[in-house]
């Protein structure tokens, strides 16, 4: 398997330098991933993308994931909103193509106006499911025409809230260019699953490994409070059986990337050391 990071880079990916990439490479990571706001993509040129592509390649590194930022919901009842977000994603697919990104990351959004990862009962209706599939088919058509692989970020608080739903949605879309991110921490639903993580991880990977091409390497901690708080943690510092997660990933994707993410830059060195230690202890090769 391979390791990379979503982070340690400037907000505008056109400003990525050899120094940024050297800092990532010093952590024994070969993948550098980043996002860009959807509304900014129209102004980005092919030449600028090719310059970034060539800078990454010259460093002996790869771009496992390019993410598109947007606030719209893919299954908004308003067709104008859906058209707007599809336009952003289609432009993002073109940018991903020009960057030679392995995947183009998108989210589903939510009918909760608070944000894309805020729950709503309206996300769970048959009508929402139908609109989601319809929109993803439009996205898939563009992805197929540009030979770009889409990776959907899924989460238990969203419309794609379980491994089973992820599988069923992709079956309905029916495109090999449509995948989900193996973000296993997003599909732990209760205390039992966290404290018996090996069993839950085996279930998640059994369903999602065949429909994933890139993964996110994180851990889980349980935080205090009178309701359940399942929070992200530095890999290796939390509750999960990461050796099992990484082995399941490697067995299915020996050349696939797991990406560190959602940490301040100063914590990525510890995260990288922890993951490399887990891999070495488990006898899992990384290259």
Domain ranges of the chain: 2-282
Report residue 63's pLDDT band, with 50, 70 and 90 as the boundaries: very high
Mean of pLDDT values over 244-254 = 99
Burial (CB count within 10 angstroms: exposed 0-12, middle 13-18, buried 19+), residue 231: exposed
Distance CA(67)–CA(55), nearest Å, equals 19
What is the structure's pLDDT at 273?
A: 99
What is the structure's pLDDT at 226?
A: 85
What is the structure's pLDDT at 76?
A: 98
Summarize pLDDT for 132-178 with one digit per residue, the tens: 999 999 999 999 999 999 999 999 999 999 999 999 999 999 999 99
Task: Name which of 108, 101, 72 is nearest 87 in CA terms.
Answer: 72
Q: Which residue has the tokens 């851990």?
A: 219
Beta strand spans in the chain (E): 2-6, 31-37, 66-69, 104-107, 150-153, 178-182, 212-217, 219-222, 230-233, 257-260
Summarize pLDDT for 189-241 with one digit per residue, the tens: 999 999 999 999 999 999 999 999 999 999 999 999 888 999 999 999 999 99
In CATH terms, the fold of domain 2-282 is: TIM Barrel (3.20.20)
Determine how many CB atoms are found less than 10 A away from the CB of residue 196: 11
Report residue 61's pLDDT band, with 50, 70 and 90 as the boundaries: very high
Mean of pLDDT values over 99-112 = 98
Q: Is the pLDDT of residue 279 over 90?
A: yes
Distance CA(173)–CA(12), nearest Å, equals 32
């Amino acid at each position: 398997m391979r390791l990379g990071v979503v982070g340690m880079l400037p907000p505008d990916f056109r400003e990525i330098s050899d120094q940024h990439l050297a800092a990532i490479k010093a952590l024994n990571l070969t993948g550098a991933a980043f996002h860009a706001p959807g509304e900014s993509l129209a102004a980005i040129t092919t030449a600028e993308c090719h310059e970034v592509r060539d800078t990454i390649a010259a460093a002996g590194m790869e771009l496992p994931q390019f993410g598109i930022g947007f606030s719209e919901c893919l299954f908004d009842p308003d067709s104008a909103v859906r058209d707007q977000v599809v336009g952003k994603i289609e432009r993002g697919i073109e940018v991903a193509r020009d960057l030679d990104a392995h995947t183009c990351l998108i989210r589903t959004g939510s009918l909760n106006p608070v944000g894309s990862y805020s729950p709503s009962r309206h996300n769970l209706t048959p009508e929402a499911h139908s609109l989601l599939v319809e929109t993803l088919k439009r996205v898939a058509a563009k992805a197929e025409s540009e030979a770009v692989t889409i990776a959907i970020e899924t989460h238990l608080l969203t419309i794609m809230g379980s491994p089973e739903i992820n599988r069923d949605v992709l079956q309905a879309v029916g495109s090999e260019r449509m995948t989900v991110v193996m973000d296993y921490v997003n599909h732990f639903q209760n205390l039992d699953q966290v404290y018996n993580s090996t069993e839950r991880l085996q279930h998640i990977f059994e369903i999602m490994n065949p429909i994933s091409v890139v993964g996110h390497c994180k851990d889980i901690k349980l935080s205090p409070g009178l309701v359940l708080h399942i929070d992200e943690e530095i890999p290796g510092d939390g509750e999960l059986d990461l050796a099992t997660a990484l082995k399941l990933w490697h067995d299915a994707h020996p050349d696939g990337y797991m990406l560190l993410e959602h940490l301040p830059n100063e914590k990525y060195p510890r995260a990288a050391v922890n993951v490399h230690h887990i891999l070495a202890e488990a006898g899992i090769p990384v290259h």
